[in-house]
Structure 1
């Protein structure tokens, strides 16, 4: 068995505040990580920290990327145990995203579709929670009876199969602190 990590976050930006006003959920961004230190974490979001309009597939960096611009980011981190076979499937799918990252766009219409309760999907376009749900779905992990295009960050919060391992300020998350202090990773 192996573990993956799902982080939900709230940076407090204008975009996330608008979404939060509508959803009433405390977190509005989802990411998937393949290590507890979050050094191998991916999502769909800002490609450039200072430009909220330029989005797509991103490898997130909690120390130097978008999160570093928002030091008061709050988050919740869940652990999900997966089989080695499920992990290999996710890594194969992830490799496709990494090799073709320039082809993927942020699915803003999909976010609107969720609010209308109507999935809006494009082959090369995802929003954050849709991407994480798609990664799980392609590995054969079924957490909900809905399409990935209808999964919200709050759906992860309500999923009983995920184990809560941390909630609080992202900068206070212990494995990140150890990396910053010791310049090591797990």
Structure 2
């Protein structure tokens, strides 16, 4: 079984500001269980036009905001048990999505390397690191609330699959996508 890590950089003002501060190519991380990314989830904007209203989201990759985003997609081989555990965890977050918040304070703390954990609140890479640890897929050498998209990218479990725009990835024939997996 495979899971997919999607790192993106959009052209939004917030994205450009974060990139200016971090110098990193990507500043947002999402996770999917299928190569077509139709189940792409993360902690991010609940409203595409407002970066300050955030929480657990199923991301609409058909929206121009994502279609034109530059991305790198990685894949990770997991056992059936890990995959099933991940499905269960994601279903839990979907079911209680209004209960969770975006961890803006944690993101600010991360920027100054302060370990700050909020209950029921995550930023994107913190969420994915927490999922990977909770499902016993990967253990980071630091707290999930200190994990960045670059830490996810550098982890030994993820193998590169694609770099380009999401639109170009989605236009790739399924046989070509699977060829690289």
After TM superposition, give the deviation of residue 163 of structure 1 in Å.
Answer: 0.8
Give a deviation string over 1:104-157, Cα, whole Å, max 9, x none. 111011111112212211121000011111111110122521111111001122
CA–CA distance in 2 between the matches of 1:127 and 1:147? 13
CA–CA distance in 2 between the matches of 1:34 and 1:70? 18
Matched pairs, number: 174
Corresponding residue for 2:132? Answer: 136
Corresponding residue for 2:178? Answer: none
Q: Secondary structure at the match of 1:8?
A: strand
Q: Secondary structure at the match of 2:2?
A: strand
- Decide whether the 8 Å contact of 1:143 with 1:161 is kept in 2: no
Corresponding residue for 2:34? Answer: 35
Corresponding residue for 2:143? Answer: 147
CA–CA distance in 1 between the matches of 2:101 and 2:153? 25
Q: Secondary structure at the match of 2:31?
A: strand
TM-score, length-scaled by structure 1: 0.88
Q: What 5-or-longer segments of structure 2 have no aligned partner?
A: 175-181
CA–CA distance in 2 between the matches of 1:22 and 1:167? 22
Q: What 5-or-longer segments of structure 1 have no aligned partner?
A: 180-186
Give a deviation string over 1:155-181, Cα, whole Å, max 9, x none. 1222232110000111110x45559xx
Corresponding residue for 1:14? Answer: 13
**Aligned runs of 1:1-186 on 2, under 5 Å?**
2-64=1-63, 68-69=64-65, 71-173=67-169, 175-176=170-171, 178=173
Give a deviation string over 1:38-62, Cα, whole Å, max 9, x none. 0011001110111111111000111
After TM superposition, give the deviation of residue 72 of structure 1 in Å.
Answer: 3.0
- Decide whether the 8 Å contact of 1:38 with 1:176 is kept in 2: no
TM-score, length-scaled by structure 2: 0.91
CA–CA distance in 1 between the matches of 2:40 and 2:101? 18
CA–CA distance in 1 between the matches of 2:49 and 2:108? 23
